[in-house]
Amino acid sequence: MSETRQLPAPVPEVNPETEPFWAATARGELLVKQCAECASVIWYPRALCPDCGSLRTRWQPVSGRGRVYSYTVNHRGEGPYRDCGPYVLAYVELDDGPRLMTNIVGAGDSADVVGELAVGLPVEVVFHDTGEGSALPRFRPRAN
Ligand SMILES: [Zn+2]
């Protein structure tokens, strides 16, 4: 049996606007922003509401549950992903609204999940520690 393939967890670029998001991932918590003026859920994390322009936005924890909206199987990655194909790049639509670009991983957080994939597949967030005070939110299949 071959060893379990894992995806690398490269350190993200953190700036003052996204620091609370990444700090939360290190605690195993997924945050999104919500606009205090128009109630839009904002993704990706940023200071300004893209719908109404308000700067009155606040962080909200979300469940981390959602469904695969779209996906592709990458056979040849770049940079730290160069030798880890095939792996899954996907949009996950959270139950709370926004769609995140992410990876889908399998049992034991392995990269081997291709056979389970389908649009609409129920998934839940898992966090892959970067070792630098942040973790990458990825998703794995879940029972309904
Ligand atoms: Zn707004």
Which tens digits make up the pLDDT trace of 40-78? 999 999 999 999 999 999 999 999 999 999 999 999 889
One DSSP character per residue, 86-144 reads SEEEEEEEETTS-EEEEEE--GGGBS--GGG--TT-EEEEEEEE-SSS-EEEEEEE---
Query: In angstroms, what is the span from residue 43 Cα to ligand 1's centroid?
Result: 12
**CA 57 to centroid of ligand 1, rounded, Å:** 8
Res 3: pLDDT: 59
Task: State pLDDT tens for residues 125-140.
Answer: 999 999 999 999 999 9
Residue 7 vs residues 32, 42, 50, 128: alpha-carbon distances, Å? 24, 27, 32, 9
User: Is the pLDDT at 2 greater than 70, yes or no?
Assistant: no
Cα 35 to ligand 1 centroid, rounded to whole Å: 5
For residue 13, the CA-to-ligand 1 centroid distance in Å is 25
pLDDT surpasses 90 at 99: yes
Is the pLDDT at 109 greater than 80? The verdict is no
Q: Is the pLDDT of residue 121 over 90?
A: yes
Per-residue pLDDT band at 95 (split at 50, 70, 90):
very high
Q: What is the mean pLDDT of residues 7-11?
A: 94
Q: Are 4 and 112 in contact (CB under 8 A)?
A: yes
Say how many Å lie between the CA of residue 11 and the centre of ligand 1: 30
pLDDT at 1 over 50: no
CA of 19 to the centre of ligand 1 (A): 21
Cα(34) to centroid of ligand 1, in Å? 8
Taking residue 92's Cβ as centre, other Cβ atoms within 10 Å add up to 26
- CA 75, 79, 5, 19: dihedral to nearest 10 degrees? -120
